[in-house]
Structure 1
Amino acid sequence: MKADMGRRYRLYPTSVQERVLTGWGHTARALWNVALAQRVHVYEQRGRTVRAVEQCRFLTQARAESELAWLAELPAQAGQQVLRHLDAAYDNFFSHAHPAGFPAFKRRGHRLSVPLPGQAVAVRKLNRHWAEVYLPKLGWVRFRLSRALGGTIRNATVSRDGTGWHIAFGVAIGIKAALPNGKPGCGVDFGVAASAYVSTETAPRLKPPGLTAAEGARLRNLERRKARQITYAKKHNGGKYSNRLRRTIAQIGKLKTREANRRQDFTHQLTTDLAKNHGFVGIEDLRVTSMTGSAKGTLEQPGRNVRAKSGLNRSILDNCPGTRRRQLEYKCHLYGSELRPVPPYHTSQTCAACGKVDPESRKGCGRLFACVHCGHEDDADHNASVEIEARARRTGGSVTNSTRRRPVVPSPAHRRRRMRETQPATYE
């Protein structure tokens, strides 16, 4: 049975275990880059694709060589899992139903992670709040048991972010679709000024700021300090980072991770409440990538209002509409509701009372919507959410006039052409 639910816990390794895990993370990143470079080279030279089964044999030979002793320090199961993940990245790239691009090389500043299969790890409970996980070649490592596993472990990933180490388990629970809950539906308008406005409510749901005023000021000071230290390193140390610069980067990462965790917490609370308390949830079928495209332009044709557009892009991404949709897709399945994406055309200019579309009803993109035909007045975001709910009721979630492009008919020639167009730019 495949994993159908994730469990993430805070890991507390000792200082020795932490050094070992850090080395494993860099080795896993280097293995990914070497394996990806090999696949690109073989395809360019011989026109064939190398898969993980073949590369696992090369990995076994490389681990036995004395020149690659650093590769042998990584558990064999972790190296094989890295190659399987590379297979999955290729499969997502070739799948026309998946938005993934060509697999990218990982930089040194990439988040450290070590993947492991489920049969390579074991978990034992110590008490109500603590447990231990057995990692190959490392032993038992303590983690905070914040919730029960609730199923069979199929895979595990050890990772590090700005706040410390974590372990995530892919657990097979055997989830089945819940019966329809029979509750009334709603429409939700995701925005910037109002994070989410539900059609059945009279006030918007506002996302609290990710950082307090003091934390924001500290982050700005750390960013300035980092810029000064990098300039000094380039002038006097040949670009080599000092220990002070590394501590500054770690402090910046801790603040940004704290901000991301608070954003994620609000998103989970919002999507869980919407999926649990409504029969269906209507949302706009948005193309976030196009909405947040850069306006910088080129040297010959520079863009206009670039700074304003950059600020708008940050505000849109801070509310993470794509993550909200992804969470609603699986949470509606769990709580007996239905996610209904609708075409987003003119939802902010359509009167929810008379149905007339007129840009004059919302002058200057303000907070007030005043219909010039019937005189209906309402908050602009609430009016849009009511229109989204009406479209979700009429179409049942159909996106016939969606802004998403039509699916391309898959063919071997199309796959080869797509790879030729993408690989040279990635390889450079």
Structure 2
Amino acid sequence: MARHLSTRIRLNPDPAQEVALRQIAGCCRLVYNLGREQRRDFWRQYRAAEGRSLHWMGQKKELPALKEAAPFLADAPAHCLQMALQDLQRAFDNFYAGRAGYPQPRRKYEDDSFRFPDPAQIRVDPRAGLLVLPKFGRRAGDHGAIRAVFHRPIRGRIRSVTVSREGRHWYASILLERREKAARPDPAPITAADVCGIDRGTVVPFMDSEGLARGHAILPARGSGEAKRRRRLEQALARAKKGSKRRAKVRLKLAAHRAREARRRRDMIEKVTTEIANNHRVVVIENLPVRSMTASARGTVEDPGANVAQKAGLNTAILDKGWGMFRIRLEQKLALRGGRLIVVPAAFTSQTCACCGHVAAESRVTRDLFRCVSCGHEAHADLNAARNIRDRGLALLGLAPSARIERPAAGMVVAVC
């Protein structure tokens, strides 16, 4: 079985190489935005003249003429410009299929990335710490090979390399293809002990049905100094004059801060999902519509929204925990280990008593405390929800919910992994 994996390495370009990387990213961004504008404004004229709809293959044939009009585009590798149009095609395909919104233009400092798709033009040298790409070490007189930090061995056949900038640093994501045997599910029948329920939250990112709170020890709290620093940087950027040197400095600091937050979030999700996949055969989670849950409550001028600031804070808290990425990575890792991910409806999991099954909004006393108004069962609210999620998964599997162990009325100690 062919398995595609990616490994991410840190690049350490010299000043001349960094200028070249920024130029290539700018050229690819320009081609992407021009292709988007062509599809948006001239698709009727193109279909009337050519008898077919616009496609990236047709747009690719127009690149030589575009280079004549804008000679600086010749400084970027041709394959990178072509891949920008292919990315645009994929964005439109996702839009037409209902998987994403209408493609938005790429912006400087936020979408600085480009891809090299030809394996024959890519060479890595982990021992010397060098990455060779078109325009970088392929020919004499170019910008030279880029120094890189290889954190792990490069095992597999290289398929492509995507270079991107996050904050102040450049990274290369190397797509690898490996031949591996497909994971075989455990032949032993699944029992209730093999099933684990996971509840996703904003304070405790992930709580399992066994009482382990995961992830919150890695991410900084919302009221921490780093969260305040981000707000100060956002305010300073809003106040700085456009085009000024001060605005450029603040933008770079804010980009570096957001990149550090993104790295921590990815690190947390990778650690948590690996531990869960290694220890459980079946994992049950809620079917949460993250995109709808994080939609703005601002409304319109005619119909303004309510509690806009509170909803914006909730949206930020949800996105900071990476719920969508957690589901994707957990499903991938369970599949590689022969496990299974089950998704159940999310309705009333936080208002249902995990002991007697009574449903009441009044039982959720506070964000952390659940006290059933019917039987008096008291537990951490996230743990109670995780057990309800697990029970719904057991019902789908045809297994009776496991016997519950009564917890002391005084509360529960939550272990931190």
- Distance (whole Å) between structure 2 residues aligned to residue 354 and residue 225 of structure 1: 53
CA distance in 1 between partners of 2:3 and 2:30 (Å): 27
Rounded to whole Å, the distance in 2 between the matches of 1:23 and 1:2 is 35
Instruction: Quickly say closer, same or farther: Cα 1:203–1:155, change in 2 above 3 A.
Output: closer
Structure 1 residue 207: Cα displacement: 4.5
Match of 1:133?
A: 131
The separation in 1 between residues aligned to 2:342 and 2:40, in whole angstroms, is 40
The alignment covers a number of residue pairs equal to: 381
Among candidates 68, 75, 78, match of residue 76 of structure 1: 78
- Residue 383 and residue 204 in structure 1: after superposition, are their counterparts in 2 closer, same or farther (change >3 A)? farther
Give how far 1:146 is off.
0.5
Distance 2:166 2:214 in 1: 32
Code of the aligned partner of 2:371 = A
Q: Identity rate of aligned residues, in percent?
A: 37
> Pick from 147, 162, 167: which aligns with 1:162?
167
1:343 corresponding residue in structure 2: 345
Correspondence for 1:313: 315
Cα deviation, residue 229, structure 1: 2.5
> What's the RMSD between the two structures over aligned residues?
2.4
Could you list the runs of 5+ residues in structure 2 that have no partner in the other structure? 138-144, 399-417
Distance in 2 (alpha carbons) for counterparts of 1:145 and 1:151: 15
Partners of 2:195 and 2:344 lie apart in 1 by 14
Q: 1:3-42, CA deviations, whole angstroms, 9 ceiling, x for partnerless residues?
A: 7111110011111111111001000000011112222334
* Aligned equivalent of 2:237, options 222, 226, 235: 226
Greater percentage in helix: 1
SS of the residue 1:193 aligns to: coil
Please say if 1:197 is aligned against 2:201. no
> Moved runs in structure 1, 4+ residues, more than 6 A?
none
TM-superposition CA deviations, 1:145-185 (whole Å, max 9, x none): 10112111111111111131111111111355422356712
CA distance in 1, matches of 2:260, 2:338: 32
Aligned to 1:18: 18
Kindly state the Cα deviation for residue 123 of structure 1 after the two structures are TM-superposed: 2.2
How far 1:203 sits from its partner (Å)? Answer: 4.9
Decide whether aligned partners of structure 1 residues 177 and 126 sit closer, same or farther in structure 2, where only a CA change above 3 A counts: closer
Q: What amino acid maps onto 1:31 in structure 2? A: V
Q: Give the TM-score taking structure 1 as reference length.
A: 0.82
Instruction: Give the conservation status (yes or no) of the 8 Å contact 2:206–2:215.
Output: yes
Query: Aligned pair 1:124/2:124, yes or no?
Result: yes
**Which among 248, 251, 259 is matched to residue 250 of structure 2?**
248
Is contact 1:210–1:263 with CA below 8 Å preserved after alignment? no
CA gap 1:224/1:379 in 2 versus in 1, 3 angstroms:
closer
Q: Whole-Å Cα distance in 2 between the matches of residues 291 and 150 of structure 1?
A: 39
Unaligned runs of 5+ in 1: 231-238, 398-428
Which has the larger displacement, 349-358 or 321-330? Answer: 349-358
Q: 1:222 to 1:316 in 2, by over 3 A?
A: closer
CA contact (8 A) 1:276 1:337 kept: no
Residue 50 of structure 1 corresponds to 54
2:105 is equivalent to residue 105 of structure 1:
yes
Distance of 1:334 and 1:21 partners within structure 2? 35
Q: How far apart, CA to CA, are the structure 2 residues paired with 1:272 and 1:164?
A: 27
1:153 maps to what in 2? 158
Q: TM-score, normalised by structure 2?
A: 0.84
Q: In 2 relative to 1, CA 353–148 (structure 1 residues): closer, same or farther, beyond 3 Å?
A: same
**Relative to 1, partners in 2 of residues 1:219 and 1:353: Cα closer, same or farther, differing over 3 Å?**
closer
Q: Say which SS state the counterpart of residue 342 (structure 2) adopts.
A: strand
